[in-house]
Chains A and B, each alone.
Chain A
Amino acid sequence: DVKVTQSSRYLVKRTGEKVFLECVQDMDHENMFWYRQDPGLGLRLIYFSYDVKMKEKGDIPEGYSVSREKKERFSLILESASTNQTSMYLCASSWTGPSNQPQHFGDGTRLSIL
């Protein structure tokens, strides 16, 4: 079974802090994704990566950056946290096949910015 592990279930930070959210997958998947989930808005893609050191902007990249130094780990960075970044953050991974493959999600990190 695929396991996607996010480092924290709950996190509380202050405005202006630099925040790191970590995600690790154990299935040697090439692709990794960061989403934020807000009520009524579904899952919105922040960034994704299809290989080590590669990254692509999603629909809402402003205020975020990412890092993928190893295949199994994908980090989301809030450079200077703001209250409008309070949200649920979900990490996902998938492998690259001849056609699209399902994404497997972590349990999420509920981030509160005070």
Chain B
Amino acid sequence: GENVEQHPSTLSVQEGDSAVIKCTYSDSASNYFPWYKQELGKRPQLIIDIRSNVGEKKDQRIAVTLNKTAKHFSLHITETQPEDSAVYFCAAPPGGQNFVFGPGTRLSVLP
């Protein structure tokens, strides 16, 4: 079955710096890769996703890159702000409509 690993588990950056979180997956048939942000006490919310027919997708300060050959995808946040502090989860589908989630990365943006 699908196995999703996520690194780092915690990440601290200075406000204005960039942050990168990387996920690897095992099932080469996976073709959809979402990223969720979960602020303290709130629900996980989709922030960006990418399908396997593209290598990169951007939405303002966030971007996701996908390397299907190496089976990894990364979340990039530029010009980080305190409101970016949260736990970020990646996911990959093992087949069917469900996802396998990574264990999460706690991002802290320091003022």
**Residues in chain A within 8 A of chain B (CB atoms):** 30-31, 33, 35, 40-45, 48, 50, 56, 58, 90, 94, 96, 99-108
**Closest 5 pairs between A and B when the two form their complex, measured CB to CB:** A100-B32, A42-B103, A105-B43, A43-B101, A31-B97
Q: Known: A31-B97, A58-B98. Contact between A102 and B103, CB under 8 A?
A: no
Q: Known: A50-B97, A90-B43, A94-B97. Contact between A99 and B102, CB under 8 A?
A: no
B101: min CB distance to chain A, Å:
4
B contact face: mostly helix, strand, loop, or mixed: loop
- Report whether B43 and A102 are in contact in the complex, using a CB–CB cutoff of 8 Å: no
Please count the residue pairs between chain A and chain B whose beta carbons lie under 8 angstroms apart in the complex: 57
- Inter-chain contacts of A31 with B (CB < 8 A): 97-98
Partner of B51, one of A44, A50, A58, A99: A99
Q: Known: A42-B89, A42-B104, A99-B51. Contact between A105 and B45, CB under 8 A?
A: yes
Q: Known: A90-B44, A99-B31, A106-B43. Contact between A42 and B102, CB under 8 A?
A: yes
